[in-house]
A and B are shown apart, each in its own frame.
Chain A
Amino acid sequence: MTAVRFDNVSKRFGALAVLDAVSFDIAKGTAFCLLGRSGTGKSVTLRHIVGLVEPDSGTVFVEERDIKGLSRRELGEVRTHMGFLFQNAALFDSMSVGDNVAFPMRRHTKLSDGDIRERARKKLADVGLEADYDKMPGDLSGGMKKRAGLARAMALDPSILLVDEPSAGLDPITAKEIDDLLVATKRGGTTLVVVTHNIPSARVIGDDFAVLQEGRLLVHGTLEALDASEEPLVQAFMRSQGGG
């Protein structure tokens, strides 16, 4: 069954074509890694999935529902099934780290405050931040913010997890821990959509891969297909960072 489907999606910002007739399917419970150079439309692709950006043409389906055709209430319902780790974490800086993670649970569950706190602590422990519940986002390093953002994205145990650059700004050991967490999350049945530049990390997490170049899908397929691709950009990517 398909978790996410892009059908001929195009998007322009002014004169700039960010996505140009992009089509792909992501099967439920798999990890889809979107690769490409900076500014090629990877983050915009994630934003289309969560409905933060609407396509100029084409259709984005999430769990078989056309995102653009949903009412605000229906879109909210679909969004509660998704978690989104933003590139810069986007933690709410008026709340503590714990309250950031608790926020989706407070908004969308009927759990008691005690249960929410306990679950938020557990989610923070999963990303190695169990001691940082009461800290404010401004007191965290970039990597810690990223991990707290991931804990918040996973707060409602989403069926689809959108992750923008999960290992950016992390040391290799923590990056590996995050990769392992994402793999464990996928094994639990969550569909992952991961935007990354980190090829070794993508190799660990991904089942399905795509490379974007100037808004067009250059290659889409398995790891083997990408390794075998003769596209110079794909070759450069797959062989970078000791990836191949």
Chain B
Amino acid sequence: MPSLSTIDRVGASVLALFEFVGALSTFGARACVEAFRPPYEPREIARHLYQFGYRSAPLILTAGMAIGVVLSMHTRASLERFGAEAMIPAGLAIALIRETGPLTAGLLVSGRVGAGIGAEIGAMKVTEQIDALEANAVDAFKYLAVTRIIALMIAMPLLTVLMDFAGIFGGYLAEAAVSGMSWSLYFERAFTYISYSDLIPATLKTIVFGYLIAVAASYLGFSASRGTEGVGEASTRSVVMGSMLIILSDVVLVKIIFFFYPAVSG
């Protein structure tokens, strides 16, 4: 039978978890409300869009191409056994657009951008820059968190489309190297079985990924304490929390997509 102190510890951990989830949810809900209240800080949003979107593009492009090459090699190895090599472009495009592209883009952005948001806001917290914003009559929550959340919600679907096409192009390079298939034939075969119901919901769900990554990282940044150690912790936890939220929310989002677009599940 577990001792009372063990029960106490478990109870305290569960309570702490509920407290964290509650605080994170309140933070995220407040961001939704504040996003519709002036001032709208367009310059800050544009600055973050450049940081999160444009500056993530090389990573997304490289990763997308590599994934496309690898997926193509695996797909060829499987389909060759059935003499269905012609399906390689379509299989790869479906896998990339429906799931691999959005999920991988989300995880990469969580690593690159989520860590950056957590560290930057965390450093501002421990060096009193957030207090300085407030003392200068600037709503720090809005200026730091809401602008980043909006920017990442805009950047995520754009980066996902970039990853999808980089992956398809990577797949083409691998296929061209093996079979000498032309780009026009590859492109035509890749998109034969793709419809808007594959592309649009899967891409738009990354808006939710962007929201979750930025909310988690901003919250952890605002909660940072204990100097540089706290900043490092905020950064690390932002990546872990962002990645977990993406994976968990993906399960729910895919279920919702299947509900509204039954053809996608077929």
Contact = CB atoms under 8 A, between A and B. Distances in A.
Interface string B113-138: 00000001001100111011111111
B225 to A, nearest CB: 12
B117 to A, nearest CB: 13
Nearest to B134: A52
B139 interface: yes
A90 B137 contact: no
B179 to A, nearest CB: 50
Of listed B127, B134, B137, residue having the most chain A CB within 10 A: B137
Nearest to A92: B129
B128 A90 contact: yes
A60 to B, nearest CB: 15
A8 interface: no
A103 B127 contact: no
Interface string A98-131: 0000011001100000000000000000000000
A79 B137 contact: yes
Nearest to B130: A90
A90 B134 contact: no
Interface of A: 47, 50-52, 72, 75-77, 79-80, 82, 84, 86-88, 90-94, 103-104, 107-108, 152
Interface of B: 120, 123-124, 127-129, 131-139
29 contacts: A47-B131, A52-B134, A72-B139, A75-B137, A76-B137, A76-B139, A77-B137, A79-B137, A82-B135, A84-B132, A84-B136, A86-B128, A86-B131, A86-B132, A87-B128, A88-B127, A90-B131, A91-B129, A91-B132, A92-B124, A92-B129, A93-B123, A93-B127, A93-B129, A94-B120, A104-B136, A107-B136, A107-B137, A108-B137
Nearest 7 Cβ contacts at the A-B interface: A90-B132, A79-B137, A90-B128, A76-B137, A84-B135, A80-B137, A50-B135
